[in-house]
């Protein structure tokens, strides 16, 4: 059962901070000359164990433990659920697409707000009453669309949009302004990235508008008007700081720089909660802890996948996110 005390929640999490993956350990992992040596480093720093040597599985478990802890101790699930809904959406996408293709679903996550088995049953039976309201409505719409035409890209778009509508609904009466600021910024930055991908695919402004996310401070119509104007586009992101602005400008000029833009966008969002990671009693501290664990897992995946697939050190470095300490 969730606890009612923020102090209790922060106390539980504070005990676990000593197990954080530090920058020095990440640098050691990056400097390993081969995938095999990097695997030994992961074991040395305790990220993998004798029973769990698969770095992907270890990364999943790393995040899952953090999510389970957050769910167990949160004093306000309406807020913390906003940061876990992404896993529900991922699972719904996988389950629905797998059902349509008559395939076994893979890579489902246990980190969401709804148990995986409950989602399995819902998708199999086409019954979504147990889902958060916006996800329920989106799945019902998709079922009607699928009855006449199955379009996997619409599955992604409908569920991504529904997730943000649910987030902003949860936060409407929230006493955590930083969470609202975070998600508005996330939408603005993600819409810029969506727009860049649309342009790089040769799609037009109307297509962008059909897939853009709701709820940001920059209206979708404003993005559409600036669709082909790089200067106007990047100025829309000036409020997110010089690194993001410069990365956005580079990505607008050179499509190959888009991964770097994504990194700077993620870093900006991550830094919003960083000042609270040592708080003794705040919801912000819980979220900062969750972000830290997610980022540790992401960086391990990026580095190990890079070594496994022969990426250059520069290519990996361009994507790896900054860690605390």
pLDDT digits (tens, 9 = 90+) for 32-42: 999 999 999 99
Give the span between the Cα atoms of 45 and 163, in whole angstroms. 36
Reported as a pLDDT band with limits 50, 70 and 90, residue 323 is: low
Say if residue 288's pLDDT is above 50.
Answer: yes
Q: How many CA atoms lie within 13 A of 153 on its CB side?
A: 6
Query: CATH number, domain at 152?
Result: 1.20.1690
Domain contains 192? no
Task: Specify the pTM.
Answer: 0.90
pLDDT at position 6, please? 78
Compute the average pLDDT of residues 165-175. Answer: 92
Domain contains 21? no
Q: Which of 91-105, 112-126, 293-307 has the lowest mean pLDDT?
A: 293-307
Domain contains 163? yes
Say if residue 14's pLDDT is above 90.
Answer: no
Give the span between the Cα atoms of 148 and 79, in whole angstroms. 37
Give the span between the Cα atoms of 47 and 52, in whole angstroms. 9
Compute the average pLDDT of residues 167-193. Answer: 95
Domain contains 189? no
Domain contains 211? no
Work out how many domains the chain is built from and give that number. Answer: 1
Domain contains 89? yes
Q: Which of 91, 273, 301, 267 is nearest to 176 (CA)?
A: 273
Domain contains 138? yes
| Mean pLDDT taken over the chain | 91
Give the span between the Cα atoms of 269 and 11, in whole angstroms. 24
Reported as a pLDDT band with limits 50, 70 and 90, residue 2 is: very low
Domain of 116 in residue numbering reads as 83-173
Domain contains 256? no
Reported as a pLDDT band with limits 50, 70 and 90, residue 4 is: low
Higher local confidence (pLDDT), 10 or 178:
178
Q: Which of 2-11, 202-211, 311-320 has the lowest mean pLDDT?
A: 2-11
């Amino acid at each position: 059962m969730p606890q009612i005390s923020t102090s209790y929640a922060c106390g539980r999490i504070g005990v676990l901070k000593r197990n954080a993956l530090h920058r020095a350990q990440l640098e050691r992992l990056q400097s390993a000359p081969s995938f095999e040596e990097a695997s030994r480093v992961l074991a040395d720093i305790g990220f993998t164990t004798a029973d769990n040597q698969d770095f992907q599985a270890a990364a999943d478990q790393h995040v899952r433990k953090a999510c389970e802890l957050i769910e167990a101790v949160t004093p306000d699930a309406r807020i913390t659920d906003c940061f876990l809904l992404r896993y529900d959406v991922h699972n719904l996408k996988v389950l629905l697409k797998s059902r349509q293709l008559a395939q076994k679903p893979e890579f489902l996550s246990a980190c969401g707000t709804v148990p995986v088995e409950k989602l399995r049953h819902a998708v199999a039976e086409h019954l979504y009453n147990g889902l958060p309201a916006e996800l329920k409505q989106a799945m019902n719409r998709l079922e009607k669309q699928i009855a006449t035409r199955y379009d996997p890209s619409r599955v992604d778009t409908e569920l991504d949009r529904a997730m943000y509508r649910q987030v902003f609904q949860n936060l409407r009466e929230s006493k955590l302004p930083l969470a609202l600021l975070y998600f508005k910024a996330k939408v603005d930055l993600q819409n810029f990235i969506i727009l860049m991908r649309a342009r790089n695919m040769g799609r037009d402004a109307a297509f962008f508008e059909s897939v853009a996310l709701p709820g940001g401070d920059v209206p979708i119509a404003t993005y559409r008007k600036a669709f082909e104007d790089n200067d106007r586009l990047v100025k829309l992101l000036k409020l997110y700081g010089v690194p993001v602005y410069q990365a956005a400008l580079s990505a607008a000029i050179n499509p190959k720089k888009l991964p770097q833009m994504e990194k700077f966008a993620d870093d900006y969002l991550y830094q919003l909660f960083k000042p609270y990671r040592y708080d003794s009693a705040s919801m912000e501290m819980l979220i900062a802890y969750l972000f830290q664990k997610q980022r540790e897992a992401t960086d391990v995946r990026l580095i190990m996948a890079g070594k496994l697939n022969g990426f250059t050190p520069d290519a990996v470095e361009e994507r790896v996110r900054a860690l605390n300490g």
